[in-house]
Amino acid sequence: MRLPTFFRPLAAMGFASLVALTVFLAAGASSVLAADTDGDGLQDADETGIYGTDPNNADTDGDGIPDGVEVLYGLDPTDADIDDDGLNDGLEVFFGTDPYDADSDDDGLTDGVEFLVGTNPLDADSDDDGLNDGDEVALGTLPLDPDTDNDGLNDGDEVGLGTDPLDQDTDGDGLSDGVEVLFGLDPLDADIDDDGLNDGEELFFGTDPFDPDSDDDGLNDGDEVNVYGTLPLDSDTDNDGLTDGLEVDWGTNPLDPDSDDDFIKDGADVEWFQAVIDSLASTDFKNVNMKQSMLDDLDGAEQFLFYTVLFDAFGLTGVSDIFKGYALDALNDIRDQMNGCPSSPDSNDHIIDCDSQLLAKPLLDILIANVNAL
């Protein structure tokens, strides 16, 4: 039960005024008052016989409220703190809290505790962060600081999201929880795209934390940084005409444009495509000899490519272009032998397994394009 509203203005009255009010109320319409030695509004006989108060002390329990006023409003003039909350009844009247209720704002902290820690005993959530003061004390957050860990999220929001209001970076990815929420990341998942780079590292490298392969080269960003040393924002780190993923897949070095040091850039060198053909089963070809035949044809094309780059190095571009033409003719002849599929191979296809042909065709097209660019 809270004090009647007309009782609350007593907080602004001095002791003498409270005594005067008591005398007036106790006297009623009568001008003849019984003996009241301490002038507290209670007759001496009633003080000793009924209330157990001291007739010589207007405020027996020393709580700042005269005994007569306490009796009038149902308080106990012999108990300074009727609700045992750590604030005496006089202070409760002064602060506007309810002397009948140990926790006036129902936040889980008694009024006396709130007075000691500095929170507002009339406001369940003193810092307006969405958590009541009692819950903050239980969690270890600061009831007077809406963002205890200074991460940009209110403590209440953190509890709602499941983040730790005592840890700026709940998932340990190098980004504060508030920054993650601001940019649509998950403050509970250190690597939202599961690419092996945590979100903070992605921010450092400039990669996309929502895309596991930021440069679309076939390698996850984390593998590029942590395994191969390639650039996760450059699909062809060594600029040899092959993406980093293709180089890893087919055995060339994505950090060396000429992995075998034969003066032909990897992208225009037939050897990586020979690795593709070599990976196919002999039964994928029209007959058992055609796999080796294709590998031999690629060796011949490589000889033309060697002379292409050799004569180009000596400035004999006309001669170089002749040998490049020979190399392209050889490669295009091979390409003509895989023109069927996806439904079924053509009659002149050397690779008759459509899955294998669909693997080889686009890769051979890359090789031809790189030779054209020489």
**pLDDT tens, position by position, 157-193:** 999 999 999 999 999 999 999 999 999 999 999 999 9
| pLDDT at 49 > cutoff 70 | yes
**For the residues 256-269, what does the mean pLDDT come to?**
97
pLDDT at 293 (0 to 100): 95
Closest alpha carbon to 246 in 216, 222, 281 = 216
Summary mean pLDDT of the chain: 91
Please indicate, yes or no, if residue 313 is contained in any of the structural domains.
Answer: yes
Which positions ≥6 away from 249 have C-beta within 8 Å?
218
Segments forming the whole domain that contains residue 27: 5-95
* Residue 32 domain flag: yes
Domain annotation covers residue 323:
yes
Q: Structure pTM?
A: 0.75
Region 3-29: what's the mean pLDDT?
Answer: 47
How many domains, the chain?
A: 2
Mean pLDDT of 252-268: 97
Eight-state DSSP code of residue 108: S
**Calpha distance 66→77 (Å, rounded):** 8
State the Cα–Cα distance between residues 360 and 271, nearest whole angstrom: 14
Final residue in a domain of this structure, among 95, 118, 141: 95
179 lies in some domain: no
206 token code pair: 């400039």
**φ, ψ for residue 212, nearest 5 deg:** -65, -20
Say which amino acid occupies 330.
A
pLDDT at res. 12: 46
Q: Which of 37, 63, 95 is the last residue of a domain?
A: 95
Q: Does any domain span residue 67?
A: yes
Residues 6+ apart with CB under 8 A from 347: none
Q: With respect to residue 121, please indicate whether it lies within any of the assigned structural domains.
A: no
pLDDT-wise least confident of 12-26, 268-282, 291-305? 12-26
> Is 140 within a domain?
no
* Nearest residue to 133 via CA among 143, 141, 123, 142: 143
Long-range contacts of 210-218 (CB under 8 A, 24+ apart): 215/244, 217/243, 217/244, 217/245, 217/246, 218/243, 218/244, 218/245, 218/246, 218/248, 218/249
Structure-token match 């006089």, residue found:
90
Q: What is the pLDDT of residue 15?
A: 44
Structure tokens at 204: 């450092």
Residues 301, 374 contacting (CB under 8 angstroms): no
CB 306 within 8 A of CB 262: yes
Asked which of 62, 95, 128 is the last residue of a domain, the reply is: 95
How many Å from the N-terminal Cα to the C-terminal Cα in the chain?
92
CB 306 within 8 A of CB 300: no
pLDDT of residue 21: 53
Identify whether 225 is part of a domain: no
For residue 33, pLDDT over 70 is answered with no
The residue-averaged pLDDT of 215-238 equals 98
80 Cβ contact partners less than 8 Å away, ≥ 6 residues apart? 61, 62, 63, 88, 89, 90
* Beta-carbon count within 10 A of 282 CB: 11
Q: What tokens were used for 44?
A: 């001496």
Task: Quote the DSSP letter at residue 289.
Answer: T
- Selection from 47, 39, 3, 6 nearest residue 20 by Cα: 39
Overall average pLDDT of the 58-84 stretch: 92
Q: Is 285 helix (H, G, I), strand (E, B) or coil?
A: strand
